[in-house]
């Protein structure tokens, strides 16, 4: 043990030795460039497809310990926030870095509430989608289009502009999401009711019918608000990485958030909650669980809602969501799919295939069961993920914009294609054949 915070690398191709500093338990990939075999050598690259072991930024927002199943927003354990906070207060914490006092929370709530209305043209966009358009597709398109309503958002280095876009996006995404749902149902749009809480207002825009004023069920309102807290941020996940990469070109935040929503849409990410329900409905009964476990173990499909790139223990959010389910069922009646989910979990957590790969339920395993019990169609489930994650995306965006170490994202590659070759007139060319090592489809 020398106690020096460095890595000594010996390049066995040349026998040269290099001393590379270690900071925050990481080395800078750029420090590898000095390792060359000769002067023409561009230097060593680090190769990390899907960035499985690469930190792309320094962040103060969210801390995850995957081995211990720990999740904290700005240092506060997710369990305490889920029990004692509310989504809008947690959004303030994530965006501003501290919990608000009474005065600042009142101002924050007012600022968000003042931005729940959307431009009337947004209706035209939503009306332009097919009757059966997936609401995540509507969200991607509509949020991207919002960049054309707010050209001031291009002033990304202006603090007041960043604050205004943050309020607009956190305030308006529930309205757009609810209107996408109303369109699917062929129902008239409901305007925001600013007397209600953030989540209560969302429920009103979803479910208000002919009554003069919508009254959210307090148990369902609290359950949805806690689910929003649990989904508010999760450090450098796929959609946040997409947001940061797009935002690194200094584009406006609406375009960057649209990219994040697009990434979240995928079944391996935020679309997993929808995929879980479809899986549970396909399994259909507890008696068929062993048959499906066998399929997943043979690589035929995946146990959706299980596994995580970082958590190699139980996702702390899944534990909380499992408890919320029973509170919701008190109001909605039990969703029978939970019995299938519980049996899948019981068997999987005893099976070496899952244990050896450290596959545990993640945030998406039980959330869809609650959403379905509340009456949401499965296509709305990823939308319910995108709404709260907007606070995390805006905090990550601001952190990127202000980080002096950041610049436009432009990764390198390892070229394995053809060496130089020269153009041949078409008459002289051989028939194109599918080469053994071809990585693209033959035409
Ligand atoms: C979210 O990153 C985040 O923080 C995301 C998120 C957030 O809050 O932003 O937490 C939200 O996206 C949660 C994850 C939701 N996705 C799913 O539930 C889809 C099912 N799970 C997976 O496809 C998978 O577990 C991932 C995508 C979540 C993680 O995949 P990794 O880390 O790339 O792992 P892998 O695909 O390389 O799998 C490792 C092994 C493989 O087996 P072998 O090739 O070693 O034999 O585990 C197997 C995989 O086949 N495996 C699974 C499995 N997940 C991984 N086998 C069966 N069922 C699964 N769910």
pLDDT of amino acid 428:
94
Question: Given its phi and psi angles, is residue 307 left (phi above 0), alpha (psi -120 to 50 degrees) or beta?
Answer: left
Q: Any idea where the domains of the chain sit in the sequence? A: 6-47, 64-403
Residue 8 bridge partners (DSSP): 19
- Check if 388 has its Cβ closer than 6 Å to any atom of ligand 1: no
pLDDT of amino acid 433:
75
Pocket test for ligand 1, best of 227, 299, 304, 307 (most atoms within 8 A of CB): 307
- Counting atoms of ligand 1 from 1, which one is nearest the CA of 305? 18
pLDDT of amino acid 438:
59
pLDDT of amino acid 65:
96
* Tens digits of residue pLDDT in 183-219: 999 999 999 999 999 999 999 999 999 999 999 999 9
Is 364 a residue whose pLDDT tops 80? yes
Q: Name the residue among 349, 274, 290 with its Cα closest to residue 315.
A: 349
> Please, which pLDDT band fits residue 443 given cuts at 50, 70 and 90?
very low
- Check if 295 has its Cβ closer than 6 Å to any atom of ligand 1: no
Please give the distance, rounded to the nearest whole angstrom, from the Cα atom of residue 372 to the centre of ligand 1: 23
* Tens digits of residue pLDDT in 268-283: 999 999 999 999 999 9
Is 442 a residue whose pLDDT tops 80? no
pLDDT of amino acid 281:
96
> What CA–CA distance (Å, rounded) separates 292 from 287?
10
- Check if 265 has its Cβ closer than 6 Å to any atom of ligand 1: no
- Residues above pLDDT 90, as percent of the chain: 94
* HEC-encoded secondary structure of 260-290: HHHHHCCCCCCCHHHHHHHHHHHHCCHHHHH
pLDDT of amino acid 432:
82
Is 127 a residue whose pLDDT tops 90? yes
Is 434 a residue whose pLDDT tops 80? no
- In the chain, DSSP finds a helix count (H) and a strand count (E) of 17, 5
> Please, which pLDDT band fits residue 439 given cuts at 50, 70 and 90?
low
The string of DSSP letters for 166-201 reads HHHHHHHHHHHHHHHHHHHHT-------TTS-HHHH
- Check if 185 has its Cβ closer than 6 Å to any atom of ligand 1: no
* Tens digits of residue pLDDT in 388-410: 999 999 999 999 999 999 999 99
- Residues above pLDDT 70, as percent of the chain: 98
Specify the residue with its C-alpha closest to ligand 1, atom 24: 307
- Check if 7 has its Cβ closer than 6 Å to any atom of ligand 1: no
Pocket test for ligand 1, best of 308, 363, 381 (most atoms within 8 A of CB): 308
Which residues participate in catalysis according to the annotation?
269, 308, 364
Q: Name the residue among 39, 45, 139 with its Cα closest to residue 389.
A: 139
- Please state at what angle helix 198-207 crosses helix 218-230, rounded to 10 degrees: 110
Specify the residue with its C-alpha closest to ligand 1, atom 14: 269
Specify the residue with its C-alpha closest to ligand 1, atom 55: 307
pLDDT of amino acid 70:
96
Please give the distance, rounded to the nearest whole angstrom, from the Cα atom of residue 62 to the centre of ligand 1: 20
- Check if 364 has its Cβ closer than 6 Å to any atom of ligand 1: yes
Is 19 a residue whose pLDDT tops 50? yes
CB 379 within 8 A of CB 184: yes
So what's the architecture of 64-403 in CATH? Orthogonal Bundle (1.10)
């Amino acid at each position: 043990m020398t106690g020096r915070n460095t890595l000594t690398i010996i390049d066995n191709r040349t026998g040269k030795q290099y001393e590379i500093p270690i900071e925050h338990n990481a080395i800078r990939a750029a420090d590898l460039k000095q390792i060359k075999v000769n002067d023409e050598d561009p230097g060593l690259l680090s190769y990390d497809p899907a960035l499985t072991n690469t930190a792309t930024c320094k962040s103060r927002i969210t801390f995850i310990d995957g081995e211990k199943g720990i999740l904290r927003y700005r240092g506060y354990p997710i369990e305490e926030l889920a029990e004692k906070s509310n989504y809008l207060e947690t959004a303030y914490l994530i965006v501003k870095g501290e919990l608000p006092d009474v005065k600042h929370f009142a101002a924050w709530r007012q600022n968000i509430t003042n931005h729940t209305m959307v431009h009337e043209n947004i209706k035209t966009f939503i009306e332009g989608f097919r009757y059966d358009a997936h609401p995540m597709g509507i969200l991607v398109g509509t949020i991207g289009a919002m960049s054309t309503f707010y050209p001031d958002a291009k002033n990304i280095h202006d603090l007041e502009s960043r604050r205004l876009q943050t309020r607009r996006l956190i305030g308006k995404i529930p309205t757009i999401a609810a209107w996408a749902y109303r369109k699917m149902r062929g129902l008239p749009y409901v305007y925001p009711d600013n007397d209600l809480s953030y989540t209560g207002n969302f429920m009103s825009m979803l479910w208000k019918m002919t009554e003069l004023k919508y009254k959210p069920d307090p148990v369902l309102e609290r359950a949805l608000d806690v689910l929003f807290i649990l989904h508010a941020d999760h450090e450098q996940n796929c959609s946040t990485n997409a947001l940061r990469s797009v935002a690194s070109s200094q584009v406006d935040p609406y375009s960057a958030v649209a990219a994040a929503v697009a990434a979240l849409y995928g079944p391996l990410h935020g679309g997993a909650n929808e995929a879980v329900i479809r899986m549970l409905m396909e399994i259909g009964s507890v008696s068929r669980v062993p048959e499906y476990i066998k399929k997943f173990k043979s690589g035929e499909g995946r146990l959706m809602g299980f596994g995580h790139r970082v958590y190699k223990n139980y996702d702390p959010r899944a534990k909380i969501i499992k408890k919320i389910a029973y509170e919701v069922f008190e109001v909605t009646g039990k969703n029978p799919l939970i019995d299938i989910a519980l049996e899948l979990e019981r068997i999987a957590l005893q099976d070496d295939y899952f244990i050896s790969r450290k596959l545990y339920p993640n945030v998406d395993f039980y959330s869809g069961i609650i959403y379905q019990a509340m009456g949401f169609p499965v296509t709305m489930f990823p939308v319910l993920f995108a709404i709260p994650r907007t606070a995390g995306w805006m905090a990550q965006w601001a952190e990127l914009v202000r980080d002096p170490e950041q610049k436009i994202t432009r990764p390198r590659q390892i070229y394995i294609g053809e060496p130089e070759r020269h153009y041949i007139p078409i008459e002289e060319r051989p028939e194109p054949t599918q080469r053994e090592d071809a990585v693209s489809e033959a035409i």
